[in-house]
Chain A
Amino acid sequence: MSTPTLYGLCAAVLIGFGVYGLIVNPQPLRKILAFNVVGSGVFLLFGAIARRGAAAGFGGDPVPQALLITGIVVAFSATALAVALLLRLHDEAGSVTLASDVPPAVPPAVAPDSDAK
């Protein structure tokens, strides 16, 4: 088995781990973490494919590698936005549950900073 194939299979397993975590972990922050594991698996799979495209003296196909750099940076910005949403939910509601049938610990209707000054 070649090196790109090995890392490609590793990436497939990582995506599987991430999907499991995404479904099973009830905490939103853990879901964000699991989503990042899925994302890194997708990147690694893409990287293995880029490595297979090595030609013309390059160690890998530079086009997918450049897209990977873009992808990693965009994944970070999406994670930052998700975390900011989660922290705001925590500040407003006092809990971060995603369950629809559990009432939040503090009623969100009278959050302290809901009135604009």
Chain B
Amino acid sequence: MIGWLDAGPVVLILALGVWTVLARDTFAAAVGFIAYGLLLTLAWVRLSGVDVALTEAAIGGGLTGALLIGAATRLRTTEAAARAETPGPFTKVLAALVAALVAAALALCVLALPDPAPTLAPEVAANIAVTEVGNPITAVLLAFRAMDTLLEAIVLLFALIGVWSLAPDRAWGGRPGPRQYADPNGILAYVARVLPPIGIIVGMYIFWVGADHPGGKFQGATIIAAMWLLTIMAGLTDAPPIGRTWLRVGLVAGPLVFIAIGIVGAISAGAFLAYPDGFAKPLIIAIELALMPSLALILALMLAGAPQRMESE
């Protein structure tokens, strides 16, 4: 039996999915994608994944949406030319056929999933006491599957290096994006002064509460990164030149602490990223405290994009 609580979001999610794919204007499609991401958070809550819902709202909808809107604005002049390349009806029918086949095959798989479903939840429940954290997701992310989280932090760092490496030669070591100017008495500058203190506290809270309740470093770091980006967009501060030593140290500090703790585990507990008995919780908190500032820097700079101008410009 499907209640309205499920049918409503599903209909809206599907409608916004169609909008994102078919909307004529790329900017409108990107705006649709943000609303789509926010509606997906409702689906995540209905699927009992509150941690995932927070991540989807912060990163899937928020940061990705902001990134796509920024790109759509810069590429607006290319839209007319690109529209002329739209494939003919034959290709469209074939594409629709392929898409329908993919969707149908997946739908059949969904209906044929085994019952009872395989699950690792009992094993997590049996071992979570050792880690002394209350949130099973945090226990998986930083104890049972800590290797995934380490590699994820390194992937983020490499992606940022990839983005930076796309800078023109003359701008290497310079500041990302154009210098932003906003009316100092306007609403944007006002919001950029009032919101960050609140946002930083919310970000720190979501980070800290993640040990025992939904939340964690990724969601908290995203909120803090958003506050920083807000002050940059309002022209209250400027994006840092990517050549700065403090910035580069800050970017690699989190992953390096993570690796160092992993090596300590290899010596004292017999396996890379293993925690010695009784030290699991302090080490998990140490990793999270070190990772959070690095993640906030990486996420914000990834949104800011490749450097475009030297420090003086």
Residue ranges of A at the interface with B (Cβ–Cβ < 8 Å): 1, 3-21, 23-27, 29-30, 32-34, 36-37, 40-41, 43-45, 47-63, 65-70, 72-81, 83-88, 90-91, 95-97, 99, 102, 105, 113-117
Contacts and interface: CB of A to CB of B under 8 A. Distances in A.
A97 B81 contact: yes
Contacts of A13: 14, 17, 103, 107
Interface stretch (B118-126, B244-252, B266-274): B118-126
Q: Top 9 closest A-B pairs, CB basis?
A: A59-B48, A16-B103, A53-B119, A21-B21, A77-B159, A56-B125, A8-B110, A12-B106, A62-B136
Contacts of B71: 29, 83, 86-87
A117 B162 contact: no
B67 A80 contact: yes
Nearest to A50: B49
Given A34-B21, A59-B48, A76-B60, 5 more contacts: A9-B107, A24-B87, A25-B86, A33-B30, A81-B163
Question: Which DSSP category, helix, strand, loop or mixed, fits chain A's interface?
Answer: helix
Nearest to B305: A84
Contact of A73 (B125, B152, B168): B152
A51 B302 contact: no
Contacts of B48: 51, 54, 58-60
Contacts of B74: 87, 90
A75 B156 CA distance: 10
Interface residue tally of chain B, by bracket? 35 or more
Given A7-B43, A29-B75, A24 B86 contact: yes
Nearest to B56: A72
20 contacts: A3-B47, A8-B107, A20-B99, A25-B86, A26-B83, A36-B64, A36-B68, A40-B36, A49-B113, A53-B121, A61-B119, A63-B120, A63-B124, A72-B55, A76-B59, A80-B163, A84-B163, A86-B75, A96-B78, A115-B169
